[in-house]
Chain A
Amino acid sequence: MTFSGAASIAGIGATEFSKESGRSELQLSAEATLSALADAGLSASDVDGLVTFTMDTSSEIALARELGMGELRFFSRINYGGGAACATVQQAAMAVATGMADVVVAYRGFNERSGQRFGQVSLGAATQVNTNGLDNAWTYPHGLSTPAATVAMQARRYMHEYGATSADFGAVAVADRKHAATNPAAFFHDKPITLEDHQNSRMIADPLRLLDCCQESDGAVAIVVTSTERARDLRAGAVPIVAAAQGSGADQFVMTSYFRDDLGIPEIGVVGRDLWRQSGLTPADIQTAVLYDHFTPYVLMQLEELGFCGRGEAKDFIADGAIELGGRLPLNTHGGQLGEAYIHGMNGIAEAVRQLRGASVNQVDGVEHVLVTAGTGVPTSGLVLGR
């Protein structure tokens, strides 16, 4: 049995992206799911599988009830925050490829700005009675207790070892906001920034500035997965899942893998190696990518781990607009999570689908394969989508 290309993305859907949705998280997920099913030309009764994040507050059965889906044959959840994004589609594709389900929807919906904000200190994360809580005992009581701070520790070491600067991180923010500026769905539509804006933004966790950090957003995204054969006959056609992988590094922690020899994010290297193995492709075969941008330094480090450039060379790789539309490797053409919205990476998968359909507002020419990654610093995942 071959996994590569057996399953496809047949539909994508989303709510609007805002700072205050005014609806429940379950309603957001239901709206996005209906939107994705409509895009695919399928109905709720066609769905027999659901996948979401362990962190999601709307269970698979709750969503199934709201949409009158009836019986489910497959349901699954993926752990580790934003690292789950691409893995939800991987789970769906594996279920379809193995015949465990016919139509699986991967969804994520939250009021992450108007409700529980991930950028604040989470008492729940600090006090959970499990090994994650035990892990956090080495950081939270000291005050290392926000995602930005955990990344800042990594970023400082990266700058020290490879000579990257805050301005190099800023180039990612500038590219994201440039792309968001022309995307009407983006929260920062029509609001580009300059590198000077980035350098003038206030410190959040030195060396990270405000404009190095993704937004906090309300919204939902859903992705419909079915067999490539069936998808070809559906309304929107097929976007084949060429490769899908998860990855966890040696001595892995959640956001605080500080105890292994090299800091960094080797977990995405695990993902990358498996994506290239499954697909038979190399970085040279990728025309555009969506690299998870919760914090800008991790975009640079991902480029290196995924093999787009050598270790420490990302600052040169991204220079001179290389990651902007028209550059050598446009990244995050929807505006990314800094520019469009932070929907835990699921909106990036939708953008990859649009690029392969030729339907992005920031369309890249001649797109054959798009790489998408999930949150790093945590056990993570990735996809290569094709045509």
Chain B
Amino acid sequence: MTTDEEIIARTDEIKARGKSPARVAPDPVNVPMIRHWAEAIGDTNPRWAPGPDTEAPPAMAQVWTMYGLNPERMPGDPLPDTMQVLDDAGFTSVLGTNCDQTYARTLRPGEAPSISTYLADVVGPKKTGVGEGWFITTKSVWTVGDEQVATMTFRVLKFKPGTGRPAVDRTKTLRPVVNRDTEFFWAGTAAGELRIQSCNACGELRHPPGPVCPVCHAMDRGYVVASGRGVVHSFLVHHAPAVPGKRLPLTLALVELAEGVRMVGEVDGDVAIGDAVEVWFDRIDDDLTLVKWRPAGAPAPEAEPEVESDLPVWELPITPTLVVSTALATRDFQDVHHDRDRSIGHGSKDIFINILSTTGLVQRYVTDWAGPQTQILSCALRLGAPAHPYDTLRFTGTIVSEADGVTTLDVRADVSIGTHANARLEIRR
């Protein structure tokens, strides 16, 4: 196994090589690839449409020089060489984390850009959410002839699979078995009510509920809505083993409600027996809302702040077709973007959208709002949670500043488990 020092030594050698020789795009900028890209991204900007004045979208800058399906690596290309060093050291998985691009102008069909890249930085080992790894930063320029047309700072994380904090997928929370005797309770949690079964004959309150009043045997029952206040009767902190949908350690309490019945639930924060707690409702998804507890008087758990958006909110359902078609239209043939089995094998939950397509979707969002003639000057993108099929991308955007004809925008793309991408763009309208 390669040591940290050996990784640094070998990558220092790659750094010392400086800029790679220019590598020319395998195909010149061409109308069919632009049309495929625009279809996959769903970008209807007329400037990309076939015709005498077709332009290439700026977000395609990297597409032209992608290696393709069966690449023959150019000797001296620093990124594949650096990746190899880390592969040898066991950091075999890769994740794009940042893509900062600037665009001097759009490209035209027939132009054949060349790319030259140097290794800027290798930093590690770092503990990250996905695992222990190294951040590799490369800097590239694209030229047509002697003219620099675009630049890119690209950062990937090479990490050891299986060394990260296991991702918690809340939707894996075990589902309650519900029947006609208990459905009122779960309907209550969904409505933000903590319901306790009451006997319509004798008034006895009861939890867990059932079809018959054990006191008077009446089967005529209703419910009362609890005050939501209680006291910790007992609790535990679960450390092992893993529990589907839960982050560990997990504090679970037996809460004695003011109304006299007891319930089990998760508590936020440290508790002791006798502590006063109050209820809150944690919506897991459309089918399940759980009753949870927090110390009485504690601030409400930070609700996701409603994002203020200067741009109209755009919601894009993610389909497998979107993921696969955009990956192929950006000439990215990594299996994690089209092969679900292989993607799961790499530790992912499904295929996911590639970074080039996220760049394309962000720029489409901005130009759909700012108008087709908008010139994108730069786009600095930071990736977060993966965007998987059957989720929804929700784009919001805020204007940061406007000066000298340049508008600076922050765009955020959220998925159900968090923020997929943050981007700062400079545009000229």
Contacts and interface: CB of A to CB of B under 8 A. Distances in A.
Interface stretch (B84-92, B148-156, B244-252, B336-344): B244-252
Interface string B67-107: 00000000000000000000000000000000000000000
A51 B117 CA distance: 75
Interface stretch (A66-74, A256-264, A327-335): A256-264
Contact of A141 (B237, B240, B288): B288
Q: Would you call the interface of chain B mostly helix, strand, loop, or mixed? A: loop
Interface in B230-287: 233-246, 249-250, 252, 254, 261-266, 273
Given A204-B240, A259-B208, A145 B174 contact: yes
Contacts of A281: none
Interface stretch (A13-21, A117-125, A180-188): A117-125
B254 A258 contact: yes
Given A134-B179, A153-B254, A258 B239 contact: no
Interface stretch (A86-94, A154-162, A304-312, A350-358): A154-162
Contacts of A155: 236
B182 interface: yes
B290 interface: yes
B182 A137 contact: yes
- Most chain A Cβ neighbours within 10 Å, of B207, B239, B242, B290: B239
A3 interface: no
Contact of B208 (A138, A153, A207): A138
B362 to A, nearest CB: 37
B273 A137 contact: no
Contact of B178 (A137, A144, A157, A256): A137
Place the interface of chain A in its size category: 35 or more
B402 interface: no
Given A153-B252, A259-B261, A207 B236 contact: yes
A135 interface: yes
Given A154-B234, A259-B262, A203 B239 contact: yes
A153 B174 contact: no
Q: Would you call the interface of chain A mostly helix, strand, loop, or mixed? A: mixed
Nearest to B288: A141
Nearest to A204: B240
Contacts of A140: 174, 176
A206 interface: yes
A8 B154 CA distance: 79
A153 B235 contact: yes
A287 to B, nearest CB: 35
Contacts of B173: 141, 143
B57 to A, nearest CB: 46
Contacts of B207: 138, 259
A147 to B, nearest CB: 11
Contact of A139 (B240, B250, B264): B264
B236 A206 contact: yes
Contacts of B236: 149, 152-153, 155-156, 205-208
A367 interface: no
Contact of B246 (A138, A143, A152): A143
Interface of A: 119-121, 123, 126-129, 133-146, 149, 152-157, 160, 202-208, 256, 258-259, 263
12 contacts: A120-B241, A121-B243, A126-B177, A141-B288, A142-B265, A153-B264, A157-B234, A205-B237, A208-B236, A258-B234, A259-B207, A263-B234
Give the 10 A-B CB pairs with smallest separation, nearest first: A137-B176, A152-B236, A133-B177, A157-B234, A206-B237, A143-B246, A126-B174, A140-B174, A143-B243, A203-B239
